[in-house]
Chains A and B, each alone.
Chain A
Amino acid sequence: MKLGNWLALFVALVLAAEIARLLRQRAAQHGRWRRLFRHRTTSWGIGILAFLVIIALAAPLVAPFPPGDQLGIVDLKNHPPSWTFILGTDVLSRDVWSRIAWGARVSLGIGALGALVAVSLGTLVGASAGYYRRWVDALLMRGVDVGLALPRIFILLMMVALWDRLPFAALVLAIGLTSWFGTSRLVRAEVLSLRERDFVVAARALGAETGRVIFRHVLPNAATPIIVSAALGVGNVLLLEASLSFLGIGVAPPDPSWGSIIADGASTIYTAPWTILFPGLAISLVVMSLNAVADGLRQALDPREEMA
């Protein structure tokens, strides 16, 4: 680590803390959002997420070495953490901290993109099923039943076996397309009750088109389950990607993802435990933060909580 990297890291930390503090301050002025920060875990969650997103964006600044560089295959492999290599080096003498920083782009990227695919699709299917009811509902929800019965990892293993290695975009799609079933059930339940409410009936009576009714009147009011399942979805997708990469069938080798860094270190855990310890902590922290934020959002946005 050079001085510039330490400086960048420090700036990232301060920035993340500031973001969490500012959000908290803004929220304090709005009754509904104040509840979001009722538990301290939510602030911590937002802070940690902000920090890791900044690290991902500023990877070239905070990482001292390129992620794939083998720094000295003879004397620098499995080097324990030191001032130069703050998280040590792996069996191929690559700097673990640099790989984690660059891997944040891949891991968080797949998490966000996969969840985006999953939540969009889930919302669309759930809204159609709940709004049109009858045969559309029956057909779509039976499809969801089948989807929920598929153990995702086996289906993804099967796709990998059949197609050899999946390219990045295909991997995101495959994960997204197998992760939307839960969301669609939640959205459907919400839409089913919303469609009977007076403001929706009024919109229909005024002659609004179906698409307009769904997107302008129904869905904005179903935001709670959608936002919450998006937050949980990013964590789930990230975990799934990490599992696949750990098995060696996720992101293709030269690009580091947190899962594949652990996979690279798995053979040397006894001699160089730092190669698996830190990327695993990164995954756990992100997923934990997302779960904490999702909890806070649920409490802040759920109207039933107002009475409690």
Chain B
Amino acid sequence: MMAWLVRRLVASLAIIFAVVTFVFILIHVAPGEPCAQIDVDVDPIVCDQLTRQFGFDKPLHVQYWRYLVALAHGNFGYSFSLHRPVRDALAGTIPFTLQLAGAALLLDLLLGLALGIYQAGRVNRLPDVILGNTTLFVYSLPTFWLALILLLVFAEQLRWFPVGGPNDPILCPVVDSLYCVADRLWHLVLPATTLGLVGAAGTARFQRAAMLDVANQDYVRTARAKGAPERRVVLRHQLRNALLSFITRFGLAFPFLLTGAVLIETIYAWPGMGRLAFNAILTRDYTLVTATALIASTVVVFGNLLADILMGVADPRLRVRAGADVEVVTA
């Protein structure tokens, strides 16, 4: 288990390293001189000086090395549109994205799991068919469109929830009391529901298929034959094995959540990393965009690593195989 874990960790770091390299190459094949970043006309002498100061006149491999060293120190560069270091800008927005993505992920997984189990127990009967068609529809909705519709119905028409922003700007400029925590959660409902619902529809379809895959296995039939109560068969024998696909789904959720964050945060004026990235596009602040792309990739890689570790915990066969490094025939 330990050796396997170390190997997975090294592989993850290698992937991040490759992503960093890819991003570096992308920046350097793109057109445009470094000075074009500054809006006002600059004296060529000042421009030369700046180019030297930032090291853009050095050979590419030297720049690459400096880039790596800077990133290793957590230095993402300076944002010219925000007039502050990129690291500070990120530190201010990441907590908001974590809250949004965390709430959405919770709804996604819990609702999806429950629906999947419920449907698999009533396969091809009326509740399953209705839910099956509903999840197919919700799963196909563009998140940004659903966000607008929910905004229109629940914020504008019914006025149940606020139209955007992370908290009430007058009563709760900072979250420092229980009331303000409740206020934050109240503001979180619509954005998190938008992302969570679409995700949950996908998870439900995935989980239903996984439960049905397992339902025909010998050990499920054995459990039924020896007279185990239905509840126990479903939860202990079927679900335990179907959880492996659930964990796979958990690993796949991160790219979806990050993509959704860009759109949802923009629509609901949620001051997270996705909105930061989008605003950075509008101001052509490519140091900032690059930094968010790197952070997002890192999150995806470590999300996969986490899913792998959970998989190892949940599936004893994997532990044995990985530890002893021999192929165990499972089929």
Binding site for B on A (CB under 8 A): 41, 142, 145-146, 148-155, 157-163, 235, 239, 242-243, 246-247, 249, 259, 262, 266, 269-270, 273, 276-277, 280, 283-284, 287-288, 291-292, 295, 308
Contacts and interface: CB of A to CB of B under 8 A. Distances in A.
B113 interface: no
Interface string B89-133: 000000000000000000000000000000000000000000001
Contacts of B267: 266
B4 interface: no
Contacts of B296: 151, 154
Nearest to B152: A269
A266 B15 CA distance: 38
Given A146-B18, A151-B296, 15 more contacts: A41-B136, A146-B19, A146-B22, A149-B15, A154-B296, A157-B293, A158-B290, A163-B30, A239-B142, A243-B143, A243-B144, A262-B144, A276-B149, A284-B141, A291-B140
Contacts of A235: 140
A159 B29 CA distance: 11
A152 B263 CA distance: 13
Is chain A's interface secondary structure helix, strand, loop, or mixed overall?
helix
Interface stretch (B188-196, B241-249, B278-286): B278-286
A291 to B, nearest CB: 6
26 contacts: A41-B133, A145-B11, A146-B15, A146-B19, A150-B19, A150-B300, A151-B258, A151-B259, A154-B292, A155-B293, A162-B30, A163-B30, A243-B144, A243-B263, A247-B266, A247-B281, A266-B267, A269-B151, A269-B156, A270-B152, A277-B149, A280-B142, A283-B142, A288-B139, A291-B140, A292-B136
B289 interface: yes
Contact of A158 (B18, B137, B293): B293
B289 A273 contact: no
Nearest to B133: A41
B116 to A, nearest CB: 15
A148 B26 CA distance: 17
Given A157-B293, A158-B26, A270-B156, A283 B145 contact: yes
Contacts, number: 136
A176 B267 CA distance: 26
- Overall SS of chain B's interface: helix
Contacts of B142: 239, 242-243, 246, 259, 280, 283-284, 287
A149 B258 CA distance: 12
B169 interface: no
Nearest to B288: A161
B82 interface: no
A150 B32 CA distance: 24
A149 B14 CA distance: 11
A149 B152 contact: no
A301 to B, nearest CB: 16
Nearest to B256: A151
Given A149-B304, A151-B255, A154-B277, A284 B137 contact: yes
Given A149-B15, A152-B255, A158-B26, A247 B278 contact: yes
Contact of A162 (B133, B149, B258, B286): B286
A152 B259 contact: yes
A153 B216 CA distance: 39
A275 B281 CA distance: 26
B260 to A, nearest CB: 9
B139 A291 contact: yes
A221 B54 CA distance: 55
Nearest to A159: B26
A243 B263 CA distance: 7
B262 A161 contact: no
Contacts of A291: 136, 139-140
A110 B262 CA distance: 21
Contacts of A308: 216
Given A146-B22, A151-B258, A158-B286, A288 B136 contact: yes
A158 B296 CA distance: 12
A154 B257 CA distance: 12
Interface in B1-43: 11, 14-16, 18-19, 22-23, 26-27, 30-32
A280 B145 contact: yes
Contacts of A295: 136
Interface string B160-193: 0000000000000000000000000000000000
